[in-house]
Amino acid sequence: MRQVMRRFLSLPLLTAILLLTLPAARAAQVGSPAPDFTVTDTNGKVHHLSEYKGKFVVLEWHNRECPYTRKHYASGNMERLQKEWTGKGVVWFTVISSAPGTQGYVTADDENAYVAKMNASPTAVLLDAEGSLGHLYGAKTTPHMFVINPEGVLIYNGAIDDKPTTEIADIPSAKNYVQAALEEAMAGQPVAAPTSRPYGCSVKYAH
């Protein structure tokens, strides 16, 4: 055990470099290219991630009946973020991965009515009832947030903020990680908190 743990300083540098540059075995790793996808939105339009090179892209996993999602919609927090950042040229995709018959599953018309009612302004709502986009990114909770930079690299994977509760009263004092990641990246700075534990309800995948 100890022997194995001893540092092998004589190891050729090349091997170390090789190890560091091995391709990530798993998808949606911060610092790596975000996996491309093809998904249809609630208006029947097909989106490929690769079309949005040159723009920041936000993915927001959504289930309107989940109390954690409700916290950020009933308070207007999510709608405010969508409005602010789409106004600055960010592509914002709300993603619904609830399987048919599970909580949060919606039809396209129903979702369009909801977006209008909430005065929400995502670029589009992607319907992912079979869960393939969710599995591709490893989306765990609603909400679960991802930010992709204009080069197509994933720069944030985690929670919306640092207060993992269902209470609206916690929003004003919370640090919003998505806001911070977009501000930092747009200012040409590295993202200070590139990952966090996403919090919320489980994504209601098909079983």
Phi/psi for 130 (5° steps) reads -85, -5
Which span sits near other proteins by CB under 8 A: 34-42, 54-62, 66-74, 87-95?
66-74
Binding other proteins (rule: CB under 8 A), the pick from 17, 21, 25, 187 is 25
- CA-CA-CA-CA torsion sign (188, 193, 196, 201): negative
Which of 16, 74, 113, 169 forms a contact with other proteins (CB under 8 A)? 16
Pairing of strands 145-148, 141-142: unpaired
* Spatial distance between the Cα atoms of 30 and 24, rounded to a whole number of angstroms: 10
Please identify, using beta-carbon distances, which residue of 90 and 139 lies nearer to other proteins.
139
For residues 144 to 183, the per-residue mask of contacts with other proteins, x marking binding by CB under 8 A and - elsewhere, is -------------xx-----xxx-----------------
Task: Single out the segment in contact with other proteins by CB under 8 A; choices: 39-47, 48-56, 132-140, 173-181.
Answer: 132-140
Tell me the C-alpha distance between 111 and 134, whole Å.
18
Show contacts with other proteins in window 31-50 (CB under 8 A).
Answer: 31
Pick between residue 124 and residue 147 the one whose CB is nearest to other proteins. 147
67 in contact with other proteins (CB under 8 A): yes
Taking contact as CB under 8 A, which single stretch among the options 14-22, 43-51, 84-92, 107-115 is the one that binds other proteins? 14-22
Q: Is 62 helix (H, G, I), strand (E, B) or coil?
A: coil
Place of tokens 């640090």: 175
Identity (one letter) of the amino acid at 160? Answer: I
CA distance 141 to 39: 19
